[in-house]
Structure 1
Amino acid sequence: MEFIFEPWPWYVAGPMIALVMFVLIFMGKKFGMSSNLETMCTMCGAGKKSAYFNVDWKASRWNLIVILGAAIGGFLAANVLSNNNNVKIAATTVEKLHDLGFDSAGEAYLPDNLFAIEALLDPKAVFLLLLGGILIGFGARYAAGCTSGHAISGLSNLQLPSLIAVIGFFIGGLLMVHFLFPIIF
């Protein structure tokens, strides 16, 4: 049972994702995390204010179970099924992050500078988290889906717009990490 406490290799996790995608495609479902936001807004009555949200949310409630399972699974993986919470990243990356002030780099999944409770007292950290959330929300809406929806579901369905979106996600991520991240921090 020791294997369950270690990160699973690609040749195990990849086929499992493919199996889930095959089942979803077979059932006529589309996977994506950002679509849950649409479902939650619809459930809360946003259809009264915007015709966009005037849809049958019950048809998408299965996806809400997916997001709940992802949250519970992530918590269990980090707190119960993990012997070692150190993040295995390259030593040069850890050094660069330390230079930028991220002292917990290589030791924690999330940097304390942004995700510790104390970070909520830092106006810069709060501003960055809010701005990041707004940009992610806008980007997911503008791209008609999030990274998981396009990269997993869209590419599984061989959709050209998903391929274009995934290429854009990678380019944006590279620009952020190599150019904007050092400027911001």
Structure 2
Amino acid sequence: MGRYLHWFIAGVAIGLLNILSYAVKKPLGVSTSFVTAGAIGVRAIDKPLVDKNPYLKEHAKVDYQFILVVAMALGGLVSSRLFGRSAGNPGRTRSIAGIIRQLAGGFLMLFGARIGKGCTSGNILSGDAQMSLGSMLFSLATFVAGALTLLVFGDRR
């Protein structure tokens, strides 16, 4: 078996997942699942607080998107084992500063996604599938911003 899934097969799988997601009346996206995880955690500690807060109350239940996020993590683990990529890059050393930068970047992306009421994956996968001009422009801007960020802050070996 090859190290990577063929791009066409992966594309068809994402397309089928997109169709399935619309069949259950919700577009693909995962940023809300982090709110769901937070609300479920807060509910476990302080249920009255969640009951008083409409935003937390609305998100304090497991839905298909939350299950999708758990399945994505498990799928990544299975894929890494199945295709032999679980060792990572043996020549790369990880520094505390690099890990902190990655966590900070992830936090900023998630924070921006929640402020914008949508995540990059949902906007790009679902919006582009609907041929939304705004989503296509967002996809282009995301790609350009990612490339520029890599040029400025990328690994300098």
How many angstroms does 1:54 deviate by? 3.4
Q: Does 1:108 pair with 2:111? A: no
Q: Which amino acid aligns with 1:78?
A: S
The CA distance in 1 between the partners of 2:135 and 2:92, in whole Å, is 34
Matches within 5 A, 1:17-36: 17-36=14-33
1:41 Cα deviation from its structure 2 partner: 2.3
- Per mean C-alpha deviation after superposition, the further-off stretch among 141-150 and 167-176 is 141-150
**In structure 2, what residue type is equivalent to 1:77?**
S
- Aligned match of 1:11 in 8, 11, 26? 8
Answer yes or no: is the 8 Å Cα contact 1:143–1:165 preserved in 2.
no
- Select which of 61, 64, 70 maps to 1:62: 64
Distance in 2 separating the partners of 1:56 and 1:35: 8
Structure 2 residue aligned with 1:166, among 117, 120, 139?
139
Q: Does 1 or 2 have the higher relative contact order (CA < 8 Å, sep 6+)?
A: 2
Aligned counterparts of 2:147 and 2:52: Cα–Cα separation in 1: 38
Deviation by residue 1:153-185 (Cα, 9 ceiling, x = unmatched): 2222333432232222112101101123268x8
TM-score, normalized by length of structure 2? 0.76
- Retained in 2: the 8 A contact 1:113–1:125? no
What number of residue pairs does the alignment pair up? 151
Cα drift, residue 144 of structure 1? 2.7
Deviates more, 1:127-136 or 1:35-44: 127-136
Q: Which residue of 1 aligns with 2:73?
A: 71
Please state how far the C-alpha of 1:74 moved relative to its aligned partner: 0.8
Q: Give the CA deviation at 1:150.
A: 1.1
Matching of residue 178 in structure 1 with residue 151 in structure 2? yes
From 129, 132, 150, the equivalent of 2:105 is 132
Q: Following superposition of structure 1 onto structure 2, how do residues 42-57 of structure 1 map, counting pairs within 5 Å?
A: 42-43=39-40, 44-45=42-43, 47=50, 51-55=54-58, 57=60
Q: Distance in 1 between matches of 2:89 and 2:104?
A: 21
| Structure 1: distance between partners of 2:56 and 2:132 | 25
Does structure 2 retain, via aligned residues, the 8 Å contact 1:48–1:54? yes
Structure 1 residues 161, 142: closer, same or farther in 2, change over 3 A?
farther
Structure 2 CA distance, aligned partners of 1:56 and 1:125? 32
Q: How far 1:28 sits from its partner (Å)?
A: 0.9
Tell me, which stretches of 5 or more residues in structure 2 are unaligned? 44-48
Q: CA RMSD in A?
A: 3.0
User: Is the Cα–Cα contact under 8 Å of residues 36 and 64 in structure 1 kept in the other structure?
Assistant: yes
In 2 relative to 1, CA 168–24 (structure 1 residues): closer, same or farther, beyond 3 Å? Answer: same
Distance (whole Å) between structure 1 residues aligned to residue 32 and residue 89 of structure 2: 26
